[in-house]
Amino acid sequence: MDYSWQSLWNKGVGILTSVSTMLLQKHHDANTDRKQLTLRAVSVLVGSYILWKIVLPRRSRRRSDIKMVSGGLPYLGHLLELTRDPIAFINRCKEENGPAFRIYLNGQDVTVLTGPLIRDMLRKPRWFSFEMGIQSIVPINRALKVSYDHKFKGEVLSSRDKDPIIYPIKHNFKPDQLGVFSERIQIAVNKMLNERLNLHPGEKRALPVWDILAVTVSQISCLCFCGSRVGYNQELVEAMANFTRNVIRTGLALSVLPGWVANFVIKRYLSVESQLDLTMDLLVPEMEKMRSREINQDDETTYLAMVLNLPKANGHLRTPKEAAFHFKNVVLASIHTTTHFTSFALHELACRPALVADLRTRIEKLDEITPETVGDIRLLDSLLREVLRYDVHVLGMNHMVKEDVALSTGQVIPQGELVLGAMLDTHTDPEMMTETVRLGSSTSLNQFDAYRFMHVDNADGDGMRSSTIGSEFLTFGLFAHACPGRYFAVNEIKYLLAELIMRYEITTHSGLRAKDFLMRGMTRFPPSEPLVFEGRKSTTNRMY
Ligand code: HEM
């Protein structure tokens, strides 16, 4: 899942821009006074409605034991203080109100939990729903419904059903099962880099890294989840690279526009119908052939085969159409998140030439570069764990309280409250990160140290790998809701980084770490500043 859907401000501006562009175009096209007048009236109404939705303060009327933090401005609330220095602000809140407090952001009250209380929340899925938290910020399910219900509704799962998204990933993507994807990951990465970033030695190109990474991660996902018969389809790869962003845009429109306008705007301009059509057109025939045994499912391990063969609670198998429709959820869970952290990793590397040189020396010692061999490079794993620790959202893990819930502090949070976890604070607080501090890095937790997890001694080394979840490492979630795809994620990210390190010199224009984009003081995005790629002499360019 992605946690980047939180800015009311950006929400408003983005949607206002799309809608006003559309209405202006219509104004321009309207050829009678009457049409012009009607359109002006519609523009005023829609504009007023959006402003009302964005600006009208929505103070919670629910009674909560958790105290509101002092200070803040009208409407903006604590936003400026949070944005200015998130760590100092969270510390002030903790000093004033203890480990749980409420803040006011852009017209909305939210409860923030810190330290062990985040663990409390994640341990209690009966009371805290991640799904409802996300949907309350961006109604993704509604966005999918408005886009596609008229064509296909998808199945309604019963509480006794094994989850067709989580179950197959959880049971088939464990560390010792990932070998079946190794060749496809290599092919995908090399294909995309050869085709899209083929630089001669010394040739330079500056580019924002998101697009090339998203399409490469998407190529990996399409090949591994759907198989080689459809996974090379470039229309599918491009569509899935951008799918999460498009669904978020649609969801944001739904959350700020009045129902009828949203439906109209989405159907005409923001629908993800064509992307869903594409997946169904490609995947359903493939799965029909799997079902009729025209294709031997044993030839290649795919998510498609896993979901097709997973029986429902009533013992029946899903139809190919039902099964194919779940693929979009795996895409939503995997491609954006993986791209997000790979981008951060590249930005951390781009301003640290000595670290890159050290990694390159270790990679050059390998007989061949594969996900398995680079997976064993301790420094690469330490770097990735540090990226996932340090480049984390300031506030994230949005959960909605399903029914009144008591924290271990005795405070009760009322039903319907949106709760956020202070992720960055936890990952940088020496009192929370005792095991990590014990590793002995001389670099404080507030700074980035790619070598931090190199100091783990072998006996409990596995306890601090980039895929090992725990109270000191929350990025992949915890307990029942821990990310089932995390082993696959770190596997593909490390291989992709190794290839990039060997093929290119990657630097920033200034030599310094580019600045992240912090949305609403809470959500961190990798910098949009382009990185400079320069082709290297001894590359591992292999043609496929
Ligand atoms: C760096 C990359 C990734 C990060 C940081 C990440 C993080 C997370 C987190 C925090 C959750 C838990 C959400 C909750 O509380 O329920 C989650 C769920 C999930 N992740 Fe990941 N994930 C990543 C990559 C992947 C990949 C590559 C896959 C697939 C192979 C994947 C599959 C899933 C699935 C299926 C779920 C459950 C989603 C649902 O409830 O519908 N993730 N992920």
What distance, in Å, lies between the first and last C-alpha atoms of the chain? 32
Which amino acid, 419? V
Looking at the CA of residue 329, tell me the nearest atom of ligand 1.
Answer: 41
Phi, psi (deg, nearest 5) at residue 526 = -60, 155
Q: Is 165 in the pocket of ligand 1 (CB under 6 A)?
A: yes
Q: Which of 35-39, 178-182, 209-213, 442-446 has the lowest mean pLDDT?
A: 35-39
Residue 474 sits at the vertex; the CA angle it makes with 523 and 215, to the nearest 5 degrees, is: 60
In this prediction, residue 34 carries a pLDDT of 63
pLDDT in tens, 149-197: 999 999 999 999 999 999 999 999 999 999 999 999 999 999 999 999 9
pLDDT in tens, 115-160: 999 999 999 989 999 889 988 888 999 899 999 999 999 999 999 9
Tell me the β-bridge partners of 470.
Answer: 473
* Nearest residue to 83 via CA among 524, 528, 518: 518
Which amino acid, 273? E
Residue 481 alpha carbon to ligand 1 centre in Å: 8
DSSP structure class, residue 71: -
Cβ of 329: how many Cβ atoms within 10 Å?
17
Report residue 541's pLDDT band, with 50, 70 and 90 as the boundaries: very low
- pLDDT over 50 (residue 10): no
Quick one: tokens of 74? 């009208």
Tell me if 217 sits within 8 A of 499, measured CB to CB: no
| Separation between Cα atoms, residue 36 and residue 307, nearest integer Å | 52
Phi, psi (deg, nearest 5) at residue 58 = -115, 75
ipTM for this prediction? 0.98
Residue 1 alpha carbon to ligand 1 centre in Å: 5
- pLDDT over 90 (residue 268): no
| Separation between Cα atoms, residue 477 and residue 156, nearest integer Å | 26
Q: Is 494 in the pocket of ligand 1 (CB under 6 A)?
A: no
Length of the chain: 544
Quick one: tokens of 409? 């502090």
Dihedral (CA of 303, 475, 351, 435) sign:
negative
Q: Is 181 in the pocket of ligand 1 (CB under 6 A)?
A: no
| Separation between Cα atoms, residue 192 and residue 177, nearest integer Å | 25
Residues 6 or more apart whose CB falls under 8 angstroms from that of 173 comprise 484, 485, 487, 488
H/E stretch holding 535: strand 531-535
In this prediction, residue 61 carries a pLDDT of 53
Looking at the CA of residue 130, tell me the nearest atom of ligand 1.
Answer: 15
